[in-house]
Each structure stands twice: as structure tokens, then as C-alpha cells.
Amino acid sequence: KNQVEQSPQSLIILEGKNCTLQCNYTVSPFSNLRWYKQDTGRGPVSLTIMTFSENTKSNGRYTATLDADTKQSSLHITASQLSDSASYICVVSPGRYGGSQGNLIFGKGTKLSVKP
Amino acid sequence: DSGVTQTPKHLITATGQRVTLRCSPRSGDLSVYWYQQSLDQGLQFLIQYYNGEERAKGNILERFSAQQFPDLHSELNLSSLELGDSALYFCASSARDTAFPNEQFFGPGTRLTVL
């Protein structure tokens, strides 16, 4: 069964610190892997999209890595800010090329709290 | 602001009732997706429309239906509502239909409460 598991479920860090969120997936083959940020009660916002052939992508203080062999991805947040407090969701798109992306598979997210 | 709009923002109704949620995609986007997010659950894909036609179906109940109109806005109809249908319903849009890669832009969501 195609699944996306994220860890930890929740995380509390102090402002200015770095953190790394993990994503393990069993989706195979897959087309791309995405990380989204979701503020409480708001819609998710895309942070990074990596194809199966990429192994790292950055977006400002956010850096995502992908190891397609071990089926693991991580999202590293550098110099955290209070505004980073949100849920971070790992999403995997099954299939290799083309096809409908309607069946994106979402993880349950990691809830990050950044404290002053 | 993603450019995707959803109305209403909040909806409170009773069991057994029927409601309609509305979504307007970003200008130029042909694909619309509907998702359900229950408390502490991940986003669950419900259904996708592309240029007016149903493209993919996920875990959508038979009591739920959707459509995309010629002006590309979409409506999600939920009927015979149950307490368990209380959730955030998100609409997303993307420019195309293919998965490689094709970013989805999410609306602000409609919070449905069934009492």
C-alpha cells in the first residue's frame, strides 16, 4: 500500500535553532516529492518540489533532500523564526511520467512550534 | 494569497442536510482538486476535474458529488451530512493535468461543522 510517514509528529524548538523533519514513503514508482507548509486553518503552501532524479532543493531557509534508494526525504529548516510555526507536510506523487496527479499521497505532517 | 478562492469560509449545518462548497481556481488553471482534512488527519484527495471533465477520483463518498462549470469554477456538493463530515475542505488548482511536475495551489478552505 502506498504510504507516506512523517516524523516526528510534533516538535518544539527555540527561535534561531535549526531542525530537520523526516519523511519515509513506500510509494513506488514515484514521480515527485513535495513539501508543503500549512499554517493552522489555512491552505498548504508549496515549499519545494523534487523529481525522482533530484536529491536536494532549497527555498530560502528551507532545504529538502531526497534519497530515492532508501525512500527517505528530509526538510531542514535553518535559523528558525517564529513564523515557521506550522505543520509541514510531505507529499508523494505516484507514477513515473505524466498521468493524473489527482492521487497525491499526503503524510499527516509534522507540527512545528518555534518558541521565543 | 494563492489566487484560489473558496466560499463560504465557514459553514455550520445539521445532520441530514445538504451543502454546496464553491471554488474558483487561479486564472488560467484548468485543473481543480478537492480535498478533505479532518481533525489531526492528513489531507485526503476527493476528486479532480480538468477542463470540465472528471479526471480522477479518490476517497469520495457516494453522498458527495462535484462538478466543474464552463467558467472553470467548481462546486462540491455534500448531502445527507453526518457528524463525521465535519472537516476542512480545500480546493486546489493547477495549470495542467500531468504530474511532472505540476504545482497545486490551495485555497483558504471551507470549515464545515455538522451539528
| Burial class of residue B59, CB neighbours in 10 A (0-12, 13-18, 19+) | exposed
Question: CA nearest B88: which of A85, A71, A54, A38?
Answer: A38
Interface touch B55/A106, C-beta < 8 Å:
no
Interface touch B104/A101, C-beta < 8 Å:
yes
Residue with cell 511520467: A97
Cis peptide before B70 (omega within 30 of 0): no
Q: How many CB atoms lie within 10 A of CB A62?
A: 17
Chosen from B93, B104, B110 to mutate, greatest number of chain A CBs within 10 A: B104
The answer to whether residue B104 neighbours chain A at the CB level (below 8 Å) is yes
- What tens digit of pLDDT does each residue of B90-114 get? 999 998 776 556 788 999 999 999 9
Distance CA B55, CA B68 (A): 11
Per-residue model confidence as pLDDT tens for chain A (116 residues) = 778 999 999 999 999 999 999 999 998 777 789 999 999 889 999 999 998 889 999 999 999 999 989 999 999 999 999 999 999 999 998 876 544 455 788 999 999 999 99
What are the chain B neighbours of A42 within 8 Å (beta carbons)? 108-109
